[in-house]
Amino acid sequence: MINSYTQKLEQIIVEMNAAVSNGSVDIATHEYQRWLDFLKHIHPESDVLKQKSAVIIDENFNKKVRILSNMQEIMRLAEKQRYPTWFIHPSCGESLVLEYEHGVLKNDTEKDRSIPKTLKGFTGKIHGVSSANSQFIAHDINTVMPFLKKMEILKNYGFTTTEFVLFPTDKIPTISSSKLIASFQNYISKARSDGLSVDGVIVVSDVPLFPVDNELSSRKMLFQII
Amino acid sequence: MNLDGLELTLTPRTAIDSYNLQINQSTLDILSLILEFKVATSWQISRFLTQKDQSKYLYLKLHRMWQAGLLESFKIFSGHQAAIPLYYLLAKKGLSILKQKGIYDPKYIKNYPPTKALLSSTFFKHEAQVIELASMEAKNKTKNLNLTFKGELGSGSHDWRSDKNIEVFTPDYTVLYTVGTDVMHIYSECERTLKSKEAMIHKLERYVLHLNPEHRRQSIVRLIFQTPNMEQSFWLNILSNKAHFLQTVNVMTTNLLCLEDHKQFLEPIYVSPNTVKLTKEGRLGVDTSSRIKLLPFL
C-alpha cells in the first residue's frame, strides 16, 4: 500500500539518486543507501527500487586503504560497532582498475589473458591486483552492494576472485590479540605459499568503519604484519 | 613461596650510611610503589618500572635507599636456604620524603600502618600475594597498552554522594588499562581466604552503592580467587541472592590456576555474568568453563 508520504519519499530518493550520480557533495553514498533501505522496509514493491538506474556508485572504490598495525585498535573498532560482519582477504600485488563500458573492456590488457574482454551489459569498474604470474585477481566493483554479492557477481563474470574468509568478530572477546595476530600470520603464510606476494590482510566491512574521507576508504583497512 | 614457617625480622643496619642518595624521580617512583603496596622485592619493583624481572640498576638503587635509611628490609626464612626473598618496606625517612613532596594526601601518610603491623604474618601473607599478582600484571605494559597501578592506599574512593574523601570501597589494587583514549579502571580484589556469603555480598554491595554511576561504564570489579571452587561459590552466591548487583556493576572473576604466567592476564580467563551458566545436576551449581578476556580489545 502506498500513501502520499511514501510517494514523497520516493521523489526525494529519485532526486538523491540523481545528485549522487552527478557526484554531488551534499550527500554521501552510504547516507543515500540508508534512505533506500528505509524505502525497502516500508514499501518493498516500490518502482524506484526496481529501476535499473538506481545503481549507487561506491565512493570508496579505488580509494587508498587505511593502514593499521595495532591489533588492539581493530578490536576496539569491532567492539564499538558491536561485532559486525567483516571479511578478510590478502593484500598483495600491483593494483589495477578495469573499466568496462556497455560490456566492452576499455583497458589494454594484452598480457593478461585471464581478464574478460567483454562483460555482457556491464558498465562500471572492477578493481583487482595483478599477481606475480600476471594473473588478474578481482576483489571489488564500483557499485555499492554487500561484499559477498560483489564476489558472486565477479565469479559469475568469469573473474578469478580473491580468496576471502569471514572474520569472526564475535569471537574477539574470547581470543587474545597475540593469538589473533598469529592467526593472521598463518593466513598470510598460506597465501604466500600459494605464490602471492602478500604484505598484510585487508579487512572489508559492508558498513562504514571510519568517517567519510576524500582519500581513504571508509569500509576497508589494511592490517600490516610488520 | 611457602609462608607457613614465617619469620620476619628487619635487617639490622648499624648506622645510616652517609652516602648522598639523590632523591630523583626514580627514587620517588620506588617510594610511591612501596607506599602503595606496603612491601616489595627488587624483582617486583623491576616489573613495575621496567616490565622485566631483573634490573641491576634497581637492585643497587634499592640497596642504597636502604643504606640511606629510606627503606627497611627483611628476609623471609621459610626453612630453606635457597631462594630467600628480600622484601623492602618504607622507613620513617622514606615516608617523610613523600610527605615533603606532597605526592600523597597527608592524612594517608599519617595513617600509614606502623612497621610492626606490616610485619605480622597474616598482614604480610596478603600483601605479598597482592604485589606479586600486580607486578606480574605490570609486565604486560607496552607502548600500545599503558597500565597504571595504585595499591590499596591510592585505590580508596571519594564518596560521590557526600563529596567526602572516605573509604567506601578499598580494592587491593587498581589498574588503569589505557589504549588510545580509552581508559578502564579495574578494581582488583584478591580473595585469598574463603569468606562467608554475607561477607562477599557486603563487599560487592559497597561497589554497587558507592561507585559513581558515570564511572561504572569505565570500570570493572575483578575478583581473583585462590581456587576454582571459591570462584564458583561466589557466582552461585551472587546469582542466587543478589543477581541484580550484576546489572549495576561490571563484575569479572578468575582464579590463580589461570594466572601461571603474566601473559595470562590478557587471555580469556575471566568469567562474567554473560558467560557464567547455572546448572542443575541434583542441586544448583554454576558452569564457569566459558571465559573471555578482561577487555575485548586486549
| Size of the A and B interface in Cβ pairs below 8 Å | 43
When CB atoms are compared, the residue of A72, A75, A173 closest to B292 is A173
Higher pLDDT, A220 or B19: A220
Instruction: Quote the minimal CA–CA distance from B94 to chain A in Å.
Output: 39
CB contact under 8 A, A173 and B293: yes
Residue in chain B closest to A175 (alpha carbons) equals B268
Mean pLDDT of A9-27: 71
Residue A92: pLDDT over 80: yes
CB contact under 8 A, A173 and B268: yes
Contact between chains at A178 and B263 (C-beta distance less than 8 A): yes
Contact state of A75 with B266 under an 8 Å Cβ cutoff: no
- Considering only the beta carbons, identify the residue of B268, B292, B296 that sits closest to A75: B296
Higher pLDDT, A209 or B6: A209
Q: Provide the pLDDT for residue B3.
A: 46
Write a three-state SS string for chain A: CCCHHHHHHHHHHHHHHHHHHCCCCCCCHHHHHHHHHHHHHHCCCCHHHHCCCCCCECCCCCCEEEEECCHHHHHHHHHHCCCCCEEEEEEECEEEEEEEECCEECCCCCCCCCCCCECCCCCEEEEEEECCCCCEEEEEECECCCHHHHHHHHHHCCCEECCCEEECHHHHHHCCHHHHHHHHHHHHHHHHHCCCCEEEEEEEECCCCCCCCCCEEEEEEEEECC
Distance from the B255 Cα atom to the nearest Cα atom in chain A, whole angstroms: 17
In tens digits, what is the pLDDT along chain B, a chain of 298 residues? Answer: 444 455 567 877 766 555 678 899 999 999 999 999 999 999 999 999 999 999 999 999 999 999 999 999 998 775 555 567 899 999 999 999 999 998 888 887 887 888 877 878 778 889 999 999 999 999 999 988 999 999 887 776 655 555 555 566 789 999 999 988 889 999 999 998 888 999 999 999 999 988 888 888 899 999 999 999 999 999 999 999 999 999 999 999 999 999 999 999 999 999 999 999 999 988 899 999 999 999 998 8
Instruction: Collect all residues of chain A within an 8 Å Cβ-Cβ radius of residue B263.
Output: 176, 178
**A216 or A48, which is more confident?**
A216
Residues in chain B within 8 Å Cβ distance of A79: 296-297
Sign of CA dihedral B112, B117, B120, B123: negative
More confident residue, A214 or B18: A214
Range scoring the smallest mean pLDDT among A11-20, A77-86, A164-173: A11-20
Place of cell 620513617: B92
Q: Which of A73, A172, A178 minimises the CB distance to B296?
A: A172
What pTM did the predictor assign? Answer: 0.80
pLDDT band at residue A118, thresholds of 50, 70 and 90? confident
Distance from CA of A199 to the nearest CA of B (A): 22
Residue B85 burial by Cβ neighbours in a 10 Å radius (0-12, 13-18, 19+): middle
Task: Give the 3-state secondary structure of residue B274.
Answer: coil
- C-alpha cell of residue B35: 607506599
Instruction: Give me the DSSP letters along B163-188.
Output: TB---S---SEEEEEEETTEEEEEEE
CB proximity A180 to B under 8 Å: no
Is A75 near chain B, with CB under 8 Å?
yes
